[in-house]
Structure 1
Amino acid sequence: MTRSKSTADIVLHPVRLRIIQGLLGGRQLTTAQLAEGLPEVTTASLYRHIATLAGAGILEVVGERPIRGAVERTYALRLEASELSAEELASMTPEQHKQAFTSFVAGLMGSFDRYVDEAEEVDLVRDGVGYRQTALWLSDQELADLLATTREALLRAAGNAPAEGRRRRLIATIVMPSS
């Protein structure tokens, strides 16, 4: 009997994580458009990773059109399907958590590298790029309230559609106790 892959096994692969990141913010992209953002990934490998994500219900086909005898599919992210459940997080070993966190941070580093490498002129202030660390003294309830407020604000902004003057931005959060 073969064990089915967990959500963590599926989404925390470096290439699949980049595909997911490419679709964040309500984007709908074809395989060719995804390939533009992943030039180091072979076409065959990209199709396999997309098929894995689609088979797990993390990507959905939102459009199809015939192109030169083939069908070009447009994909969208089903964000809720890509998130790890509380049960799955609780079942992970410390080593699996370290691996997951490393994949997450590597994805952030890759995004930052692409920003620096592709910007005509790197200007963190103009582009609103920042990375900061702050220590807060919070009770468990105060932390829960802060996270709920932050989530509400992010969800409101996540409803924004692309428009003139808007630029797609990635916001990542990491919360952990400090010694």
Structure 2
Amino acid sequence: MNKVETIFHPVRFKIIQVFLDGQSKTAKMLAKELKDIPQASLYRQLDALVKAEVLIITEENQIRGTVEKVYSLNKPAANLSNDDVKEFTKEEHLQYFLFFTAQLSRDFETYLSDDDIDFLRDGVGYRQVALHLTDQEFLDFAKDIGKVYEKYMQHTPASKRTKRIITNIMMPKKEGDVEHE
């Protein structure tokens, strides 16, 4: 199984998302967060993620005759590089992009299912902006965003902190595309 197939499997993708907060977790902790995944499937997919080195086992604790494993995300292995995707066909890129956006839609639908939603209070939003940048200005912009992410990714979970998922999709507007005003 290649890296892309490992990451973009629906259940494994959900498991990886739980680790985006940088915290280590046991299978029991994951089962509490991922209630819709049957236990046998959860263990099978954890094993696949460990074999692919997307997750690493950071501890093994002896508990009543069994070993409880503690998992952490191996961030470099969980991110797709340019080399990982450069051989994709257009159809494969579209397939994986649609999977990615479907997962976003499912997360947003879950948010909307709450009886008490308030975009401002909850920090929810979606928007699209156009920036006119040279290639170098775009590289600088991307580096700046990376620095901001790094700064705030240092925060660990706490009672007053809410886990927020931030998603960026960047693409150039091709010449000949119709501008909508």
TM over 0.5: yes
Q: How many residue pairs align between the two structures?
A: 174
In 2, Cα distance between equivalents of 1:116 and 1:75: 30
1:51 has 2:47 as partner: yes
Q: 2:91 aligns with which of 95, 98, 112?
A: 95
- Write the mapping of 1:99-178 to structure 2, written as runs, cut at 5 A: 99-117=95-113, 119=114, 121-178=116-173
CA drift at 1:88: 1.6
Secondary structure of the residue that 1:24 maps to in structure 2? helix
Q: Which moved more, 1:46-55 or 1:36-45?
A: 36-45
TM-score by structure 2 length? 0.88
1:76 to 43, 65, 72: 72
C-alpha distance in structure 1 between counterparts of 2:34 and 2:71, whole Å: 15
**2:21 aligns to what SS in structure 1?**
coil
1:174, distance to aligned residue in structure 2 (A)? 0.2
Q: Partners in 2 of 1:156 and 1:25 — Cα distance?
A: 13
Identity %: 38
Q: TM-score with structure 1 length normalisation?
A: 0.89
Q: Kindly indicate whether residue 1 of structure 2 is the aligned counterpart of residue 13 of structure 1.
A: no
The residue that corresponds to 1:26 in the other structure is: 22
Shift of 1:120: 5.4
Structure 1 vs Structure 2 CA RMSD: 1.6
Instruction: Specify every segment of 5 or more residues in structure 2 that has no aligned partner in the other structure, as ranges.
Output: none
Cα distance, 1:68 vs. partner? Answer: 4.0
Give secondary structure in 1 for the equivalent of 2:37.
coil
SS of alignment partner, residue 45 of structure 2: helix
DSSP 3-state at the match of 2:31: helix
* Inter-partner Cα distance in structure 2 for 1:92 and 1:99: 10
**Which stretches in structure 1 are left out of the alignment for 5+ residues?**
none
Give 3-state SS (helix, strand or coil) of 1:160's partner: coil
Counterpart CA distance in 1 for 2:43 and 2:86 is 31
SS of 2:22's equivalent in the other structure is coil
SS at match of 1:161: coil
